[in-house]
Structure 1
Amino acid sequence: MGPALRRPTRLVPLAFLGVIAIGTGLMMLPVFTAGAPNAPFVVALFTATSAVSVTGLTVVDTATYWSAGGHVLITVLTQIGGFGIMALATLLGLLVSQRLGLAGRLSAQAESSDIALGEIGQVLTRVAVAMLGFEAVITLILAGRFWAHYDYSLGKALWHGLFFAVQTFNNAGFSLYSDSLRGFVGDWWICLPVSLGATLGAIGFPVLFELARERRHPSTWSMHTRLTVWGTLVLSAFGFATMLIFEWANPHTLRPLGVEEKVLAAFTQDTMARSGGFETVPVGAMNTETLSILTGLMFIGGGSASTAGGIKVSTFAVLIFIAWSEIRGEPDVVVGRRRIATATQRQAITVAMLAVALVAAAAIALRSRIEHADLQRVLFETASAFGTSGMTTGLTATLPASGQLILVVVMFVGRVGTITTASALALNIRHRRYRYPEERAIVG
């Protein structure tokens, strides 16, 4: 067993660094650019990191800067990044459960009964088949729409359908159009498949597999599935409602649209905040209240072992239940007649605090390199990079090289950091034979 497997939390960052390095080298080749002789190092590094981390942030116009070969390379890197993060997250989950004692191992198996030790190959095959199946369906729907309604040739329609299907399900936001998907703001046959595809990719395969197996018996769902499903529904409803409220009369976003188009645009843009990255209305023209809410949604992200980033819905839900139990004076944190382990509570708090520290530090560093930049927009771009959302107010493309490198680091840490941190915390549980005397500190 190699050093990476003996220290499993090193496997994810090392694997992603390797793919990013290869992608950066390839993107600097002249064949992958449309006009320039070759892409500068920072542009190639930023694009490769954004693709592998399935973020979608760009410092150049993807539609015009990269050649057809460049678009294919971005698609390949996105697919590798999306599948890789789910595969490695599953592998880390299995390694973590293998390190637990017998009681802990049985408990972990009960909470994720579709993943058993010794079934790594089978699990990864199921992930790959499901991933390709979802992408194939989305490709056919989008290609059919491009071909039948927009008069694209069959080849062009299939390519556009495939490109956006990969970007959608992997929750990246690269587009073959300079205005992202704004030209399709009222097209249900484009926006709805893109939104649903991003949601499926962001919910996580452990949850999808359990939903498929136990779809008729919701009462048997594991705690993780319940937290993810209900947390996703609540956050989606909240984002959708607030988007309509704050942007309904905005002349630069929803106001020029009809009622049905407003509803579709709000639903699509709310979904994209969860990690999708596309925009059907100009994000940079949104009101401050909307940008603040989207920043929070991007920071939370999607489900564990999914293509989405952020601290994850289940982590956020655990924090909410911790606060609720404390407010009520309950001795235990209970979800659906199941008690959340104290170690899990500490891990959720630690992941969230480290994420807040990272985003705050990166935003401060980014702000120091931009003159007269609006702090709200700086925080938005930083949260977008951390949550691998890819939505932008337009600030990223105007950043100096030093600012772009800061976002490269944030995208990388946002993609692999939460997984490796949570795994490292789970593997670092110590059992002492003694405890110190208890003393209370003044809180608040």
Structure 2
Amino acid sequence: MLSTMRRSPAKALRGAIDDFAAASPPRFAISVFALLVLLFTALFSLPISSANGAVTPLADSLFSAVSVICVTGLSTVDMATHWSGFGHVLILIGVEIGGIGVLTLASILGLIISRRLGLRSRLRAASDSNPLRTKKGPVAEGQAVRLGEIGGLLATVAISTLVIETAVAVLLFPRLLIQGVPLADSLWQSFYFATMAFTNTGFVPTASGLTPYSHDVWFLGLIMVGVVLGSIGFPVIYAVIRNPRRPRRWPLHVKLTLVTSAILLITGAIAFFVLEFSNPHSLGELDPAQRTLQSVFYSTMTRSGGFSTVDVSQLNGSTLLVTDMLMFIGGGSASTAGGIKVTTLAVLFLAAFAEARGNEEMGAFDRRIPGDVLRIGVSVVLWGATIVAMSSIVILQLTGAPLDFVLFDVISAFGTSGLSTGLTAELPDAGVYVLASTMFFGRVGTVTLAAALAASSRRQLFRRAEERPIVG
């Protein structure tokens, strides 16, 4: 009792935070993200953060903070020219924090300080890397990262982030010099592009954007490599590094992520190539090689990359619809990408195939997938669709803009893609706040949000009588 009373305020605060994090990791994650958004909103509002030394309006500061922390890439101001050098440093710090994940970053710092991970930290990191950890009780054996592997995963997060971003920056550096960019600017821009690619944010450091490199195979290829490595997820990188020559030993999550991502990438590129083949504003005036390059690049960017070499507002309506679907799906779990995640889509299709064949169980690669994973997947899709629908309705009412443009930007915000038809920059303040909320919910994750809103998980000690409603 006496020792408790003698605890310093700092230790008491640390204990309270630790207890809150252990009691509800989802609520802790949302709280940390919200606090970071508020902090960066205040920092972006400072005169020192803007290039002209003026105070940035609250709506623009808040939206920029959410877009940075949620690694979305949408903006209501010109991110290249509006912010000062200090503002750009804030942007880089923010996207690194958001891309890696607040909980994972906190665990890495704790690992560096204490040189070990306690059980509570391991559980917290596992919660961030595996949505199934939001559920009480045993977790399926098919999970991507087991508790004992969290220390190795966190080391992989730190090392892979540093190595990949540095490698991409080093390879981009000579290309910028060849373009005529001064030495110091080339160094800064190469790391800026590399960071934005790996974190799947899509901001550019210059007003010209990707225009000087819009047909450059080397530059666009490196950007695509960075985006893909960031979007497949740290558990996938970790598993591949451990067993690079034995794919059969990769967890089911890794196989589903790689296979589904490849299918979506190829399908998206073919769709863009066919639908935009004769559009003079995109592929119509290009040679076959450039049409192929631009199609692959656009397909890679849709599921969270955010970079663009074409004017999205000039694309065909059919292309916008295909892009909507790809952005809603997003990238891999525990990655810098957003969306409902590719494994969610894979599980839903596997369940549909199993039902069509009359199988009671679904599975892939000689592994059975338990039913609770399907329920999680359905919940993710329904919550995501609900958020997109509600945001679209409100913004349609506020702006009166075309439905395809509104739906595109809303899904881009939810999936943290960053592509835009130009609507986001023209939104009134009320629409800015709605879209900022959409970005926040999309980044935090629909499963984590649902788990955080639930007061508690109740154990039901009885079963009701069974009756089958008519569906379909």
Provide TM-score, normalisation by structure 1: 0.93
CA-to-aligned-CA distance 1:1-34 (integer Å, 9 cap, x gap) = 3213211111111111111111111111111211
Equivalences for 1:248-397 in 2 at 5 Å? Answer: 248-371=277-400, 373-397=401-425
Residue type matched to 1:246 in 2?
A: L
CA-to-aligned-CA distance 1:360-398 (integer Å, 9 cap, x gap) = 111001100002x11011000000000000000111001
Residue type matched to 1:132 in 2?
A: L
Where does residue 56 of structure 1 map in the other structure?
73
Structure 2 unaligned regions, length at least 5: 1-17, 106-123
Q: How has the CA–CA distance of structure 1 residues 167 and 246 changed in structure 2, closer, same or farther, with 3 Å as cutoff?
A: same
Matched, 1:116 2:147: yes
Residue type matched to 1:289 in 2?
A: S
Between the aligned partners of 2:287 and 2:311, the Cα distance in structure 1 is 16
Between the aligned partners of 2:286 and 2:173, the Cα distance in structure 1 is 25
Where does residue 111 of structure 2 map in the other structure?
none
Check the 8 A contact 2:351/2:362 in 1, yes or no. yes
Secondary structure of 1:334's aligned partner: strand
Between the aligned partners of 2:452 and 2:214, the Cα distance in structure 1 is 43
Where does residue 45 of structure 2 map in the other structure?
28
Between the aligned partners of 2:134 and 2:70, the Cα distance in structure 1 is 27
Check the 8 A contact 2:338/2:415 in 1, yes or no. yes
Secondary structure of 2:445's aligned partner: helix
Secondary structure of 1:82's aligned partner: helix
Between the aligned partners of 1:325 and 1:426, the Cα distance in structure 2 is 31
2:465 corresponds, among 433, 437, 444, to: 437
Between the aligned partners of 1:242 and 1:278, the Cα distance in structure 2 is 18
Between the aligned partners of 1:98 and 1:289, the Cα distance in structure 2 is 38
Check the 8 A contact 1:274/1:308 in 2, yes or no. yes
Matched, 1:142 2:159: no
2:431 corresponds, among 378, 394, 403, to: 403
Residue type matched to 1:116 in 2?
A: L
Where does residue 159 of structure 1 map in the other structure?
188
Where does residue 40 of structure 1 map in the other structure?
57
Tell me how many residue pairs correspond in the alignment: 436
Between the aligned partners of 2:323 and 2:286, the Cα distance in structure 1 is 21
CA RMSD across the alignment: 2.3
Higher mean C-alpha deviation, range 316-325 or range 235-244: 316-325
Where does residue 110 of structure 2 map in the other structure?
none
Provide TM-score, normalisation by structure 2: 0.87
Check the 8 A contact 1:319/1:348 in 2, yes or no. yes
Q: How has the CA–CA distance of structure 1 residues 433 and 381 changed in structure 2, closer, same or farther, with 3 Å as cutoff?
A: same
Report % sequence identity.
39
Residue type matched to 2:158 in 1?
A: A
Secondary structure of 2:338's aligned partner: coil
Q: How has the CA–CA distance of structure 1 residues 191 and 426 changed in structure 2, closer, same or farther, with 3 Å as cutoff?
A: farther
After TM superposition, give the deviation of residue 86 of structure 1 in Å.
7.1
2:205 corresponds, among 141, 153, 176, to: 176
Matched, 1:67 2:75: no
Where does residue 129 of structure 1 map in the other structure?
159
Between the aligned partners of 1:134 and 1:426, the Cα distance in structure 2 is 38
After TM superposition, give the deviation of residue 216 of structure 1 in Å.
1.5
Between the aligned partners of 2:275 and 2:27, the Cα distance in structure 1 is 43
Residue type matched to 2:429 in 1?
A: A
Structure 1 unaligned regions, length at least 5: none
Between the aligned partners of 1:73 and 1:251, the Cα distance in structure 2 is 38
CA-to-aligned-CA distance 1:76-99 (integer Å, 9 cap, x gap) = 111111122571784415796598
Where does residue 414 of structure 1 map in the other structure?
442
CA-to-aligned-CA distance 1:85-138 (integer Å, 9 cap, x gap) = 57178441579659865xx35x54x6435x434x65553232111111100001
Check the 8 A contact 2:338/2:442 in 1, yes or no. yes
